[in-house]
Amino acid sequence: MANASAAQRLHEDLNLIINTADPGEQLPSEPVLAQQLGVSRATLREAMRTFETQGLISRRQGIGTFVLRPANVIESGLEVLESIESQAQSIGLPVNFGELDMVCRPAKAGEAEALGLGEGEKITQISRVILAEERPVAYLIDTLPVQVLTCDEIEADFSGSVLDLLLKRGDPALVSSRCEINAVAASSDIARMLNLQRGDALLRFVSSLYDLSGKVVDYSLSYFIPGYFRFHVVRQVVGL
Amino acid sequence: MANASAAQRLHEDLNLIINTADPGEQLPSEPVLAQQLGVSRATLREAMRTFETQGLISRRQGIGTFVLRPANVIESGLEVLESIESQAQSIGLPVNFGELDMVCRPAKAGEAEALGLGEGEKITQISRVILAEERPVAYLIDTLPVQVLTCDEIEADFSGSVLDLLLKRGDPALVSSRCEINAVAASSDIARMLNLQRGDALLRFVSSLYDLSGKVVDYSLSYFIPGYFRFHVVRQVVGL
DNA sequence: CAGTGGTCTAGACCACACG
DNA sequence: GTGTGGTCTAGACCACTGA
């Protein structure tokens, strides 16, 4: 026990380097840093993963690795459904979105089932990366029936949040959302968009948003970088 | 786009192999399998991670890699606090624990703060791996003031759940728990205990359990292997 | 172009299980 | 001992950025 692997020692070394560095500072290149720390580049990269998901460093291909100033954390209770944008606004955090991808197409089998539609019925799908203080912090995919939301409506007025758009419109009348929570490893695609390494740990919400009639009006996948969020929930104790 | 990396293609290949194999079947050794699939061992191991956290394969050092039968999922709403043991029992899933580690020692700074104690006051700490159907599915660490729970009491009667023990005793009167949810990469230690690879994505709960007087009676860290759990929560929509 | 991070390979050595 | 998975290394090649 207490058998310090190279990875563990390296983690501490990196911790020191990153905490000592000034925000904005560029670290030595990976080959150089690996040699300085006496490990291979593969091991160094492995150790750097944690610091990335904690929002402490940013690595940009073709440019370099940079130390970030401590991140502002978006804190949120899970009992109520509120958009990231709305939460960020309430703590004065500037948030916008990038890499918006919007399509209108027939629903695939899984999508149709999640939305209570027939396969092939038209859906609107919106994917985007959420940026807080210019840093990618989450990747969101919303899927809705076109009857609920069309691409035109999004182009006309989109703040980054489908929820806020629907609430502003006031129709359909939204009631609640059922949200499944899990941890996943970042795929290549998602890692690239969030500027992470593939395999990094992400928090994933799979949510179904219901209207007054009990219909699903929005099925969404949300990927959050751990270091930028603090989700909590109060759980009631039930007797034996 | 749709640029299939080696890792992505490999993921599909492995998916086919694993789904085709019978439960209990042993896969070829890593060097052999890597050659068969035309990738390096490092890439193969990387691709296998996902299947491990999904509970589809088990790798045991010195023995081999085995295909598991599909896992039973423990489903749980987060609104109420219930032990894994209790949840598993209600769906007829056999659960026990292993690797129990129990200590009684002075609180470190962070622990003292979490429990509202002075630094150095005695605490009881219980760590154990939870096994469902003989498979490790979670790693739990509970920290309590000795005034609330002593090691002797645990040795006398421990089912794997501190919550159940306190409820059974009926004192102190438990009210609710505040739980923070995040995703983390498995450390070497935790990976070993859960029979995973270091760096695998885990779901982590950090919880404080309160009694009637508002005091924290249990501070706990819980690590869950994603494939064995489905946590959900209903979120209410609040108007603009 | 040169320099960066992103990916992948081949191979070494270790720790562990089993005969 | 042999054979397995766990860890780490050195180095190659690619994709991207910015001068």
Tens digit of each residue's pLDDT (9 = 90 or more) over A101-154: 999 999 999 999 999 999 889 999 999 999 999 999 999 999 999 999 999 999
pLDDT given at position A113: 95
Q: What is the pLDDT of residue A183?
A: 97
pLDDT at B6 over 90: no
CA distance readout (Å), A173 to A77, A216, B204: 22, 11, 34
Mean pLDDT along residues B177-191:
95
Preceding peptide of B94 cis, ω within 30°: no
Q: How confident is the model at residue B4 (pLDDT cuts 50, 70, 90)?
A: low
Residue-level pLDDT at A9? 87
Under 8 Å CB-to-CB from A24, ≥6 apart: which residues? A66, A67, A68, A69
Q: Is residue A212 within 8 angstroms of chain B, CB to CB?
A: no
- Predicted local confidence at residue A171, as pLDDT: 87
CA B128, B133, B134, B136: dihedral to nearest 10 degrees? Answer: -50
pLDDT given at position A195: 94
Answer whether A181 sits within 8 Å of B78, measured CB to CB. yes
Mutate to test the interface with A, among B231, B234, B240 (most CBs of A within 10 A): B234
CB contact under 8 A, B81 and A232: no
Q: What is the DSSP letter of B108?
A: P
What confidence category does residue B151 fall into, taking pLDDT thresholds of 50, 70 and 90? very high
Q: What is the pLDDT of residues B19-32, one digit of tens each?
A: 999 999 999 999 99
- Give the span between the Cα atoms of A193 and A118, in whole angstroms: 31
CA of B86 to C1' of C4 (A): 53
Report chain A residues whose CB lies below 8 A from the CB of B183. Answer: 53, 183-184, 201-204, 224, 226
Question: Which band of pLDDT confidence, cut at 50, 70 and 90, is reported for residue A1?
Answer: very low
Structure tokens belonging to residue A37: 């720390």
Interface with B, mutate which of A235, A236, A238, A240 (most B CBs under 10 A): A235
Mean model confidence pLDDT for chain A = 93
Distance CA A224, CA A201 (A): 9
Sign of the dihedral through C-alpha A131, A136, A138, A142: positive
Average pLDDT over residues B84-106: 91
Please write down the HEC assignment for all residues of A51-97: HHHCCCEEEECCCEEEECCCCCCEEEECCEECCHHHHHHHCCCCEEE
Q: Which of residues 101-160 of B touch A (CB under 8 A)?
A: none
Protein residues in reach of strand C (CB < 7 A) = A 27, 29-32, 41-42, 45, 59-65, 188, 191-192, 197-198; B 5-7, 38-43, 46, 60-63
B177, B209 contact by CB (below 8 A)? yes
Q: How many residues does chain A have?
A: 240
Give chain B positions within 8 Å (CB) of A229: 182
The predicted-structure confidence for B26-61, as pLDDT tens digits, reads as follows 999 999 999 999 999 999 999 999 999 999 999 999
* Banded model confidence at residue A3, pLDDT cuts 50, 70, 90: very low
- Burial of A83 from C-beta contacts in 10 A (0-12 / 13-18 / 19+): buried
pTM of the predicted protein model: 0.95
Among candidates B8, B181, B232 on the partner chain, residue whose Cβ is nearest the Cβ of A178:
B232
Q: In the prediction, which pLDDT does A120 show?
A: 87
What mean pLDDT comes out for the span A76-90? Answer: 95
The Cα B129–Cα A139 span in angstroms is 32
CA–CA separation, B200 vs B46, rounded Å? 10
Overall average pLDDT of the B95-105 stretch: 90
Q: Is the pLDDT of residue A36 over 90?
A: yes
Search chain B and give the residue with CA nearest A79: B235
